[in-house]
A and B are shown apart, each in its own frame.
Chain A
Amino acid sequence: MPRTFGDRLILILMIGVAIVWVIPMLWVLAMALKPNEMLVSSTRGILPWPHTLEHFATLIRGSMTPRWLLNSVIVALGMTVLTLTLSSLAGYAFARIDFPGRRLVFVLVMAGLMIPEQAILVPLHAMIAGWELHSTYFSLIAPRVAGPVGVFMMTQFFKAVPRELEEAAQLDNAGRLKIFWSVMLPLSRPALTTLGIFTFLFAWNDYLWPVITTSQPEMYTLTVGLGSLQGNFAQTEGLGFLMASAVFASFPMLCLYVVFQKYIIRGIALGGGK
């Protein structure tokens, strides 16, 4: 279809917006490639030029960096798999199974959306301390799995699936679990992918809870570990290293986004269409 003038105008506008969006990221990359001493004097220049690779070399050669990377992968994957499992099961139950007290339980779960993370930090910390489970994968993953957002998202999705599909499966003598596994889950792939990506992203970037629950450097996630390397005036005397840490930590996410972007967009569009 030939582009109209309006299409071209929108395209130019979007390219302009994209450039404005990308400029700060280019600036971060440019600073990551400069020595710290140069950046104390000036932070000008948004076009990346490799004055030095020492910051990335320090990160890559860091003896704990692979361990922190592994911890982040384990925590993010673990959190994602468990969240998807629990959210899809709970979402299906709330959407399709009429059990006693369903409405009350759903309201209680959604009430969790109103409670900020900081409000439960202290009792959560005390609880995990009582179990002597701080600085473990359990303490890093488990508290985050009980997330109302995922349950809400999957509930809304399953509610929109036509009942006829389930009824057709029931006519073939399929039980609840089989209907869930063979019919509902495959249909919910876009929603699951979106939820999975957002959960993974959240887990990868998570800082506040991991920094409080991990006391041993071996259990730091990448964000906490890179933070522990920063000196007291990281934003001025250690700016190059700080920026390199940001690039290093976000690189896996960037790759993930490039691979899964069509699913993310589909998932957002699916949610927006309701």
Chain B
Amino acid sequence: MHIPDGILPAPVCAAGYAIAGGVTWAALRQINRTAASPAEVPKAALLAAAFFVGSSLSLPIPPVSVHLMLTGLLGALLNWYAWPAILIGLLLQAILLGHGGLTTLGVNAVMAGVPALLAGQLFRLRHRLAKALSPRAALGIFSFLAGALGVGLTALIFFGLVVFTMPSTFDPATEQNLLTAFMVAHIPLVFLEGLFTALLCFFLLRVKPDLLK
């Protein structure tokens, strides 16, 4: 879900940049405050590259195959660094792949980045909220929720924007039908993202639990 140039009105694009600027400030403040080791920077940078590359993977869901966004997973693994990672990913997508989105960079960053940050926070809460469960069950549930939240929120923001900017000449009944159709189509995707995120976290738990700390 990436909004190309030309669709959104200029004030929305500008607001997107403003909000993105604010989130950048907040994320950097958090990063500095937690006095994270400078080793986190290469870790976040290379994992961002891996996500960028890996996002080209398409998952078979017969009869189709889909590309997953994995923003929830990004948030879970990178925490506050997920925001710069997404920002950089979008920038490189524009610069290296020529996918456009220069005026909508702010909007797209907020659309993917804020849910990623929230998903990351939710993932972190598993230690506190799931004390009664085994660590493995807690991991499974919370990684699923993080994955689902990441995509779910992004989809909501996307729909919100579309509704907001839809031309007023649109027949309200058609508009509602289209939107409902899109929303319904995304529910299985939200579930699948959650599932994939959980499976991947289980894989990492077995092979490199350090990544999940």
Q: Do A and B come from one complex?
A: no
